[in-house]
Structure 1
């Protein structure tokens, strides 16, 4: 079993200020980005970078990037990556336009989950999340999700209902954050030990077939490696029919549910 110190180092590394970010990757992937700002009702979500652009070789893409911020000021501005209703509604605008114009959708995720403030609940947070989950699942264009750090609860699932899912090898994807899991267990496990209780790590999720590719977070030129991985996963999806893309997404999650009872390796 890992020591508490080792576990703390794992979480500290995952949440480090110099962590690779969605804006970094978007800038390298799409040199010219036409950004969509706001949902035309509630305003903007600073944590979300969303819009359309073309790669250097002319491939048109839609991007949805969620970033937690790198210092105290930016993390306060971006609400620690917890998206409000405006963020989900803005993302839905982008997804709908992507489908209309035949643009693949790339999601870049690092967020604790959705904003759970009374204001977000009052404006229909759960409905906004459900709308995006449904739209992503029914996309007639390919979509690829990349977990750069953490992504928890339905707030992250809304961006990860995708044909292909990639994760950095130390990233996490789960129904709840490690802190929430520990709280549910009433302190019977430490926050970081909660990571080992559920299949939320990249290797575990790849073993169960939910994650298609794992990228080492220690790779040199990590931004380039992530972009290469996205292009590699996207290429075989481009000629696939709309009906098959939709069916593949459903099958991916059905397989994961079927594999859920799989015992963790000792």
Structure 2
């Protein structure tokens, strides 16, 4: 059963009515096809209008939708083959960040991404996509492997932020994030990052310091969550919508600010309504970017990457 967001209530009502009519039509002799077709058309128009004028806060809600594709879905839809590599070789294997060797359309790559989990049990296992220091140190280890063997790096970002717990700070959270960002900037291989849901704070940047940064149409990318920003500025999370507006968290805003390089279109109604189409769109964009970057020398890749991030702001 589909989960609807608050602003989708009119759409939910129409789609529920369509479903009722279809059930009725299956059990009787009345021809309801014209009415069903009319309501489906109305529903699609309303969906198009609604998603054509989403506010930054509404886009934040879409980016957080529990039914959006997760890392395991991208592995299934993006890759021909995936071999996971676990552990940071120092403390533990953080399940909030998953990575390994992969083939995308025949190209050998190192694939790393956040995994939030799809149900209560898996969300707890993956800590809701909030990585601890060992997660970022695992990412660094995999980046080192990619550099050593000349494998392009592809990262998928979907995290509310790095884990804020005391134990993470005790194990060097800030240092691990900084080292991961530094390693990403220093790679000699092509790198492509994609913001596929939430791109929250340093927890996102740590694996998004890439040559090309892609972003789904309804994803968000920010230095802090809108609720966190509102709590600091207005002392209440109730101002989250105002904060989202001011922070320029949307793909269109970030493209105009040159924080990202390309917007990847989503299916009508968001990636959660048609995950295969969304993943296919992302795959095409990644392949095109890898082909372009593949023509550059290692030194040119490093120089372009550093210049790109130094120019921001």
TM-score relative to the length of structure 2: 0.76
User: Matches of 2:86 and 2:115 in 1, distance apart?
Assistant: 15
Closer/same/farther in 2, CA of residues 42 and 253 from structure 1, 3 Å limit: same
Q: 1:151 is matched with which residue?
A: 199
Q: Which of 87, 90, 109 in structure 2 is aligned with 1:41?
A: 90
Closer/same/farther in 2, CA of residues 83 and 97 from structure 1, 3 Å limit: same
| Mapped pair 1:99 → 2:155 | no
5+ residue gaps, structure 1: 258-266
Q: 2:211 is matched with which residue?
A: 163
User: Matches of 2:279 and 2:195 in 1, distance apart?
Assistant: 13
5+ residue gaps, structure 2: 1-5, 8-53, 269-273
Contact 1:144–1:164 (CA<8 Å) still a contact in 2?
Answer: yes
| Mapped pair 1:226 → 2:274 | no
Q: 2:30 is matched with which residue?
A: none
1:196, distance to aligned residue in structure 2 (A)? 0.9
Give structure 1 regions of 4+ aligned residues with deviation exceeding 4 angstroms. Answer: 4-9
| Mapped pair 1:20 → 2:69 | yes
1:169, distance to aligned residue in structure 2 (A)? 1.1
Closer/same/farther in 2, CA of residues 172 and 9 from structure 1, 3 Å limit: closer
SS at the partner of 2:214? strand
| Mapped pair 1:139 → 2:195 | no
1:174, distance to aligned residue in structure 2 (A)? 1.1
Give per-residue Cα distances to partners, 1:15-63, cap 9 Å, x unaligned.
Answer: 2221022221122332321211111222111122201122342x11001
Contact 1:112–1:150 (CA<8 Å) still a contact in 2?
Answer: yes
1:9, distance to aligned residue in structure 2 (A)? 4.5
TM-score relative to the length of structure 1: 0.89
Q: 2:176 is matched with which residue?
A: 128
Q: Which of 215, 220, 236 in structure 1 is aligned with 2:292?
A: 236
Work out the number of aligned pairs and report it: 253
Contact 2:82–2:101 (CA<8 Å) still a contact in 1?
Answer: yes
User: Matches of 1:133 and 1:10 in 2, distance apart?
Assistant: 26
RMSD across aligned positions (CA): 1.9
- Who wins on radius of gyration, i.e. which is larger? 2
**Range moving further from structure 2, 37-46 or 78-87:** 37-46
